[in-house]
Amino acid sequence: MTAGPAWRAARRAATTTLVTGPVRSGKSRHAEDLLWQSGSVTYVATGRRATPDDPEWSRRVADHRVRRPGSWSTVETADVAAVVDAATGPVLVDCLGTWLTALVDEAGWDDLVVAADLVRAAGERLVEALCAATVSVVVVTNEVGWSLVPTTASGRFFQDELGRLNARVASVAAQVNLVVAGRVLDLSSAPVVPTQPRPRTLDA
């Protein structure tokens, strides 16, 4: 794969909170709770739209809508950065995993090199928007390794790119919360795993 754009350090996104955790952990509900008293919130649904041919997905989307305050508005889009750029009030992005899937669907799963370039460019664009934001932004994501992913080239690609995207957003977020079984752990001050290998040393 090509390197894509440099995932360079940017100024910290002082208004951003990243909420991560396993599927069905309660992370989306926790993210909603963080903004519950914020009045008018823009909820960015990053995944596929509800369609009549998938009633189970339509029910999930409807359930999500019902539990959100009536003052919130929903935007269904893959251009998350544009929504953050234009926001005049708090934004909730749910979630990076479905966003990544939508981006790769657009690029095509048959050429993962092209898909990687698109995903990394979009990710860097999102990070820039988060760093420039003057409103509160809560970003939800699935933590890699805690969901069912096929053991195929595309499955490994998805895990690699989502892990990279999660780490990139976490690197600029002011707060990072892990949700497991409905319990919340603040990881904001936790040590960061080095992204570069440590130099080898000779045994004494």
Mean pLDDT of 163-182: 94
List the Cα angle 153/109/79 in 5-degree steps: 125
- Residue 64 annotated among the catalytic residues of the structure: yes
CA-closest candidate to residue 44, choices 104, 101, 91: 91
Lowest mean pLDDT among 8-17, 41-50, 99-108: 8-17
Mean pLDDT of 127-149: 90
Q: Which helix (H) or strand (E) holds 176?
A: strand 173-180
Domain boundaries, the chain: 13-186
> Is pLDDT of 39 > 50?
yes
- Judge: domain 13-186, CATH 3.40.50.300: yes
Identify whether the C-beta of residue 187 lies closer than 8 Å to the C-beta of residue 178: yes
> Is pLDDT of 133 > 60?
yes
Rounded to a whole number of angstroms, the CA Rg of the chain reads 17
| Active-site hit among 64, 98, 163, 171 | 64
Question: pTM of this prediction?
Answer: 0.83
